[in-house]
Amino acid sequence: MQSESKKYEEETPSLFWGLDPVFSAFARLYIKDIKEMRESKQVPVDDSTGVINCVCWKNPMVSRSLSGSPSTLSSLKVLEQMKKLQETVSQKTKLVIGDVVRVRGYIRTYRQQREIQASCFYKVDDPVCDVQISRMLELPCLYREVYDKPFQSPGEGQSGPEGLDFSIYILHEKVKDFLLENKIQTFYQQELETIDTLVSLAGEPLSSRSCQVNSKPDSSSKRIHSVFKEAIRMLQEEGVVFQKPSSSKDLYHVTDHDKELLKVTLDVVKEDCRKPRHAEKGCHFLHVLSCVRQNYNPSLAEVVMHRVLELLESNSDVVSTMEGYYMAF
C-alpha cells in the first residue's frame, strides 16, 4: 500500500496536467522518449477487444462508378480532378524504405509494448534535407524550453491553509503579462501594489475571510507585500526582470523592453563575429555574456542573457548557428 501511495504522490495531479508545458505544446519527441514516458496510475485505461455488430449498407446510387455517367464536359472535368487527387494521395501514402514521413497519432499499449496509432501520415518531399536539418536545429531549443523543465504544480509546497504559493504563481503570471503588454521598461514594487487587478489576486485567498481582513489590516498588507516580492523573485529567476547595481535597490528593469541591453548585446555579437576566430561558428553564449557584463551590468544573470538572445533571434537580428553559438546578420 505504501509503494502504491508513493507512486501517486510522485505523479503530477491530473488537475494540473493542463499547466504542464509538455501539455501546452505539440509533443514532438524521439521514439526513445515515448518509450521512457511513465504511464499514469491515476486514470484507468480500458483495453478491450470489440466485435462488429452492425453493417451499414452502401447506397447503390453512390457506389455506381463515375465512368457510367454521361460524358459531358463537366463530368470529364470531375473525372480528371478525381484522377489527379488519387495520384496525389497515392504519391503521398505510397512509402518505400528511406522515405521521410510525418506521422500524427496517439500512443497505445498493445501486448505490453508501446506503439503509435497513426491517425494520419504523409510523405515529406525533402530532396536536399532541408526539413531534417531544420528539425535537428529545432530540437535543442524544444528540449531546453519544454521537455527538460521539471514541472512544479502550483499546489506543491503550500505554506498554509491560505495557499500562498498558488497565489504567487498566479500573480507572477499576471504581472508578467502586465509588464509585457504595457511595454513597461522599469518599475518599483510599490507601483505594482497600486494596481487593483493585481492586488486583488495577491489578496484573493483572504477574500473569504473578510472579518479577519477588517480586524487585521496590517497583516493583510504585509502579506500582499510579501506575495508581490515573491512573484517578482520568480520573474527574476525566469529572466523577465533584473536589477542593476548602479540603479536604485528597489528598481527593476524589464528585459524585453530594455533597449540599452538589447543594443549592447547586438553590438557585441556584430563586432566579435567580424573577428577571424568567431567568423565561422559565431560567438559562444558565455563569451557574449562576459562581454555584456563588462560593458553593461557586471551582475547580469545567465537566464536574462538567454532571454535577450532569444528575443534578438525572434526579431531576426541574430541567428543561432549551433547549440550555444550566435551570429549577427
Each residue's pLDDT tens digit, 17-50:
766 666 655 555 666 666 666 777 766 544 444 4
Distance (Å, whole) CA 298 – CA 247: 13
The vertex-281 CA angle with 277 and 282, nearest 5°, equals: 75
Cβ pair 131, 194 in contact under 8 A: no
Domain membership of residue 322 (yes or no) is yes
**Residue 81 pLDDT exceeds 50:** yes
- Cell numbers for 20, please give them: 504542464
121 and 205 both lie in a single domain: no
CA distances from 75 to 59, 60, 64, 83 (A): 20, 19, 14, 12
Q: How confident is the model at residue 282 (pLDDT cuts 50, 70, 90)?
A: confident
Domain membership of residue 72 (yes or no) is no
Domain membership of residue 173 (yes or no) is yes
175 and 203 both lie in a single domain: yes
CATH number at residue 233: 1.10.10.980
Distance (Å, whole) CA 250 – CA 299: 16
Over residues 181-191, the mean pLDDT reads: 92
Cβ pair 79, 105 in contact under 8 A: no
- Cell numbers for 27, please give them: 509533443
Cβ pair 323, 306 in contact under 8 A: no
Domain span at residue 106? Answer: 2-38+100-147
CA 315 remoteness from chain centre = 18
Each residue's pLDDT tens digit, 305-329:
999 999 998 888 888 887 788 888 7
Distance (Å, whole) CA 259 – CA 118: 47
Cβ pair 148, 224 in contact under 8 A: no
Q: What pTM was computed for the model?
A: 0.51
143 and 6 both lie in a single domain: yes
Confidence (pLDDT) at 62: 46
H or E element that contains 109: strand 101-110
Domain membership of residue 201 (yes or no) is yes
> CB count, 10 Å around CB of 231?
25
Q: Which of the listed ranges 3-7, 61-65, 147-151, 254-258 does the model predict with the highest average pLDDT? A: 254-258
Pairing of strands 241-242, 186-188: unpaired
Domain membership of residue 76 (yes or no) is no
How many domains does the chain contain in total? 3
Each residue's pLDDT tens digit, 88-108:
877 777 777 878 887 777 777
Residues paired with residue 229 on neighbouring β-strands, in sequence order = none
Distance (Å, whole) CA 239 – CA 309: 12
